[in-house]
Amino acid sequence: MAYCVVAVILAFLVGASAVHGSEPWWNETQVYSTNANSGGSNGVFVGLTLIQSAAAKGAVCLDGSLPGYHLHRGFGSGANSWLVNLEGGGWCNDVSSCVFRKGSRRGSSNHMERQLQFTGIMSNRPEENPDFYNWNRVKVRYCDGGSFTGDGSNAAAGLYFRGQRIWQAAMDDLMAQGMRYANQALLSGCSAGGVSTILHCDEFRGLFPSNTRVKCLVDAGMFLDTVDVSGRREMRSFFNGIVRLQGSGRNLPRSCTSRMDKTSCFFPQNVVPTIQTPTFILNTAYDVWQLQQSVAPKAADPQGLWSKCRTSYVSCNGNQLQFLQGFRNQMLDSVRGFSASRQNGVFINSCFAHCQSEKRDTWYASNSPRLGNKRIAEAVGDWFFERGDAKYTDCAYPCDKTCHHIVFRGDH
């Protein structure tokens, strides 16, 4: 049976301007909080570490505060293995949205939780996370609004765009904490953190000797350069704003910027073909964030024809499902060449969801989504440790009965 997760919209981050009307959504990639039982997870709570050396390097959050991370030490066979997870949480693309953002945990360590619970791939419990539970596991907090790529400032607005310096300061600090001795390492991230992972994957590989096993896991990071229901390219307009405002262009992968414009190189589909490091792409074919915010955003649907479909997949009519099948085809096309490489892995399931690696119920629970009878944790583990096949692509909706679909409580 398919599982349905009821969701509510988080509205605490607002203020980013869309190209055609003001929409309070771009700042918060985690657009839902579930009220589903997470499976009784007792994931460990891990304290925040501020990077004291960052200020001297100018590596600061949007408001000038210190960046940070949460580190839970590995043990036993995992003592020299490292999982570095880059936090997600949307972007800001203009001065007003970044000013708003700097008053939140997404723009200031002054507002960050002092402890985070580690679940899913971050869990310390073998029954919840069989392959990575005893690794050194790190959550790098996200407070720059530009997927760790910016390098600039706006003195008048009191904004610091220092994402690339935060990335470097965090990696320097973790290397000093023992990551330089790693015998294997995995960089991961969900949503905006998935974009960050793609953009920094080869940089991460470069931190280690060539004989160290280093790979990257991208969860819900395949934001497509797609046309919305009104014929506009909302994501392109938005990503262009980020790149221009934050000065991200010089820090995007040169393997892409040498052949394409800078905004195109913020789109994962244009970077993944050039990544040298083994990478695993985990994504839903019907990503609910993209459905709500870039495929059928309210601004592109003034008559509200998509309002019901946008909040619940079961309310989509035949024409809307056909449009969404076209989006699925674009998703599959975007990873086709990438998937052909033996070193890479894919798990693209036909679910209406977003982010599946950091929650126990979708990572490694008894009722987690499956493809080829493999749960996501098993597919990722097989790929990382080269235990077997790691290429899983689902049939089109509605064939998959193992999905944890997300349904929203009313349009927003």
Catalytic (active-site) positions:
191, 287, 354
Using a 10 angstrom Cβ sphere, with 0-12 exposed, 13-18 middle and 19 or more buried, the burial of residue 185 is buried
Tell me the two tokens of residue 180.
């330089």
Distance of CA 83 to the CA centre of its chain: 15
Query: Residue for token digits 């970044």?
Result: 98
Q: Are 407 and 244 in contact (CB under 8 A)?
A: no
Output the CA angle 91-215-351, nearest 5 degrees.
Answer: 60
Tell me the two tokens of residue 125.
């419990």
Long-range CB contacts for residues 202-210, cutoff 8 Å, separation at least 24: 202/253, 202/255, 202/275, 202/276, 202/277, 203/167, 204/84, 204/171, 204/277, 205/276, 205/277, 207/171, 207/175, 207/179, 207/180, 208/182
Query: Residue for token digits 């003195």?
Result: 155
Q: Are 347 and 371 in contact (CB under 8 A)?
A: yes
